[in-house]
Amino acid sequence: MRPLRVGIAGLGRIGRGILRANHAKIASGRFDIRVVCDVMPIDQVTYLLAHDSTYGRPPFTLDFQGNDLKLGQKSVRYERVDRRRRPDEDGLGALREFELDVFIDATGTATIDSMRSIIDNKIAKKVVCTSNIPGCDISLVYGVNNDAYDPEKHDVIASNTCTGNGFVPIAHILNKHFGIDYARIITIHPALSDQRALDSFHPTSHLGRSCAASIIPTGTNVGASTSLVIPELEGKLDSLSYRVPTEVVSVIDLTATLSRDTTRDECIALFEQYARTELAGVINCDYGAWGHQRASIDYLGTEFSSILLMKHLSVSNGRHLGLSLMHDNEAAYCCRVLDVLSVIHRAKKVEPKLKLVEPALMIA
């Protein structure tokens, strides 16, 4: 089967991270990213891809020629769009020539109408959004609800959120084996690009305070993101986020009341089993290094959705669970977006086989 043909709108931290992850291990790219769009001049895009203050230089050369980005030997067309208009409103009809299978919206400004227009105008067959836009056909967290994807029904797909991908696999395990009566989720999240370096106006006033000088409490949608994938947890989750003066790697601190009694040893065995089997590559059980605990920077660039700090796993009174998780909220999330593309790609491959089997069964 031919490689999946992909386009990306938005080359902020996530859009650039997807590009980087796609070419990090396979020179030609895990998927055939044919075109990318943003408001920046192409030289600035190349500069930011080549010089990343957080992750350093990528493992491939970068340059540009005319309207093409050069990622190693791979050429990717660059389309600059007007910053006053959304990319889908700005002549993306020209992208039909690339015959895209999937269009990734990493702009952070997607709406369901704009995403449907991409499909209706035959720019791409499917759309993947890097946020849970209202009205999307399905929100996928890789490793948890892959099997729910139906290529006949789901055209606008959300790859959930970075924190959602960190928490949902753990919530899935706990809910499946113990049940969750109630949980409070605290995230300690690095500052984001919409915050201010110095005190100034922000539509959300507290995010206008200097991100380098304060720990700033704010809301998080991790509870809602989880309920989209595990509906039975709706109304059982509370959450709060603290933005902190770090660049990357987020913490999720969970306090949960389970529906049945358990022990610390049972929880450890269960998480280790999932890390070896069903959720291998998605979760990881971390016991530190030579008896010492790691710091958040030590998880920079890790591809696991969720890293469980096993020393800090606690169970009291049988049902009260305490758990701390870390995850690279950029690199790991970008890897999961690519994994969602693989779910879409595999569904294309198996669909003809299912259609051939059904008539044979009917004849028999």
Task: Examine the domain organization and report whether 325 and 337 are in the same domain.
Answer: no
What is the arithmetic mean of pLDDT over 154-166? 96
CB count, 10 Å around CB of 157?
23
| Judgement on whether residues 300 and 343 belong to the same structural domain of the protein | no
Check pLDDT > 80 for residue 352. no
Q: At residue 251, does pLDDT exceed 80?
A: yes
Query: Which residues are identified as catalytic?
Result: 162
In the numeric block, which tokens belong to residue 125?
């067959």
Dihedral angle sign, alpha carbons of residues 337, 340, 341, 342: positive
Q: Which residue range(s) make up the domain with 25?
A: 5-160+333-358
SS3 186: strand
Judgement on whether residues 294 and 208 belong to the same structural domain of the protein: yes
Q: What is the pLDDT of residue 245?
A: 95
Residue 360 has pLDDT above 50, yes or no: no
Residue 44 sits in the same domain as residue 83: yes
Segment 286-290 mean pLDDT: 94
Phi, psi of 182 (to 5 degrees): -165, 145
Q: What is the pTM of this model?
A: 0.91
What span, in angstroms and rounded, lies between the C-alpha atoms of 167 and 189? 13
Distance CA 248, CA 216 (A): 16
Lowest mean pLDDT among 22-26, 44-48, 256-260, 307-311: 22-26
Cα distances (angstroms) measured from residue 28 to each of 10, 34, 79, 152, 342? 21, 11, 20, 30, 16
- 364, part of any domain: no
The CATH number for 28's domain is 3.40.50.720
In a domain, 363, yes or no: no
Same domain, 88 and 155: yes
Torsion of CA 249, 173, 158, 147, to 10 degrees: 140
Q: What is the pLDDT of residues 89-128, one digit of tens each?
A: 555 777 889 999 999 999 999 999 999 999 999 999 999 9
Lowest mean pLDDT among 6-15, 328-337, 351-360: 351-360
Task: Using pLDDT thresholds of 50, 70 and 90, give the confidence band for residue 3.
Answer: confident
In a domain, 89, yes or no: yes
**Token digits of residue 1:** 């089967």
Domain count, the chain: 2
181 and 215 fall within a common domain: yes
Same domain flag for 194 and 108: no
Identify which has the larger pLDDT, 347 or 82: 347
Per residue in 50-81, pLDDT tens?
999 999 999 999 999 999 999 998 999 999 98
pLDDT on residue 95? 85
Lookup: tokens for 271? 């998480």
Instruction: Confirm whether 274 is domain-assigned.
Output: yes
Q: How far is the C-alpha of 139 from the C-alpha of 38, rounded, in Å?
A: 25
* Mean pLDDT lowest among 58-62, 128-132, 328-332, 359-363: 359-363
Is residue 27's pLDDT more than 60?
Answer: yes
CA distance 341 to 6: 9
What's the pLDDT band for 86 if we cut at 50, 70, 90? low
